[in-house]
Structure 1
Amino acid sequence: MSASRFSSDVYARRLSAAAAATADAGLAGLVITPGYDLRYLIGSAAQTFERLSALVVPASGAPMVVVPRMELAALKESAVVDLGLAVRDWVDGENPYELVADALGGHARVAVTDSMPALHLLPLAQRLGAVPVLATDVLRSLRMVKDPAEIDALRKAGAAIDRVHARVPEFLVPGRTEADVAADIAKAIVAEGHSAVAFIIVGSGPHGADPHHECSDRVLQEGDIVVVDIGGPCDPGYNSDCTRTYSLGEPSAEIAEQYAVLQRAQATAVEAVRPGVTAEQVDAAARDVLAEAGLADYFVHRTGHGIGLSVHEEPYIVAGNDLPLDEGMTFSVEPGVYFPGRWGARIEDIVIVTANGVESVNHRPHDLIVVPV
Structure 2
Amino acid sequence: MSRRSLHTPAPDAASLRARIDRARGAAADANTDALLIAPGSDLRYLIGQAGGSFERLTTLVIPAAGDGVPALVLPKLEAPGYADVPTDELGVDVLTWVDGEDPYRLVAGRLGKPGRVAVSDTMAALHVLGLRDTVGGEQRLAGPILRELRMRKDATEIAGLRKAGQAIDRVHARMGEWLRAGRTEAEVGADIAAAIVEEGHTAAEFVIVGSGPNGASPHHDVSDRVIERGDIVVVDIGGPIPEGYNSDSTRTYAVGEPRDADVAGTYEVLQRAQHAAVAAVRPGISAQDVDAAARDVIAEAGFGEYFIHRTGHGIGLDVHEEPYIVGGNDLPLEPGMAFSVEPGIYQAGRWGARIEDIVVVTSDGVEPLNARPHELVVLDS
Q: Same fold (TM over 0.5)?
A: yes
Which of 53, 59, 68 pairs up with 1:48?
53
Which of 15, 19, 31 pairs up with 1:26?
31
Alignment of 1:1-373 (within 5 A): 1-59=6-64, 60=66, 61-77=68-84, 79-81=85-87, 82-251=89-258, 252-373=260-381
Question: Which runs of at least 4 in structure 1 moved beyond 3 Å after TM superposition?
Answer: 79-82
Using structure 1 for the length normalisation, give the TM-score: 0.98
Separation (CA, whole Å) in 2 of partners of 1:188 and 1:127: 48
State the one-letter code of the partner of 2:148.
S
Q: Is the 8 A contact 1:206 1:340 kept in 2?
A: yes
Separation (CA, whole Å) in 1 of partners of 2:14 and 2:209: 41
Deviations 1:175-232 (A, max 9, x none): 0000110111011101111111110000000100010001011101001000000001
Separation (CA, whole Å) in 2 of partners of 1:128 and 1:67: 16
Deviations 1:210-255 (A, max 9, x none): 1000101110100100000000101210000000000111224411
Matched residue of 1:34: which SS? coil
State the one-letter code of the partner of 2:147.
R
State the one-letter code of the partner of 1:198.
E
Q: Is the 8 A contact 1:5 1:80 kept in 2?
A: no
Separation (CA, whole Å) in 1 of partners of 2:96 and 2:22: 25
State the one-letter code of the partner of 1:141.
E
Q: Is the 8 A contact 2:251 2:354 kept in 1?
A: yes
State the one-letter code of the partner of 2:380.
P
Report the Cα offset of residue 131 of structure 1.
4.3
Matched residue of 2:51: which SS? coil
Q: Is the 8 A contact 2:114 2:136 kept in 1?
A: no
State the one-letter code of the partner of 1:290.
I
Report the Cα offset of residue 337 of structure 1.
0.6
State the one-letter code of the partner of 1:250.
E
Q: Is the 8 A contact 1:44 1:80 kept in 2?
A: no
State the one-letter code of the partner of 2:21.
S
Report the Cα offset of residue 99 of structure 1.
1.3
Q: Is the 8 A contact 1:3 1:45 kept in 2?
A: no
Separation (CA, whole Å) in 1 of partners of 2:356 and 2:102: 48
Listed as ranges, the gaps of 5+ residues in structure 1 are none
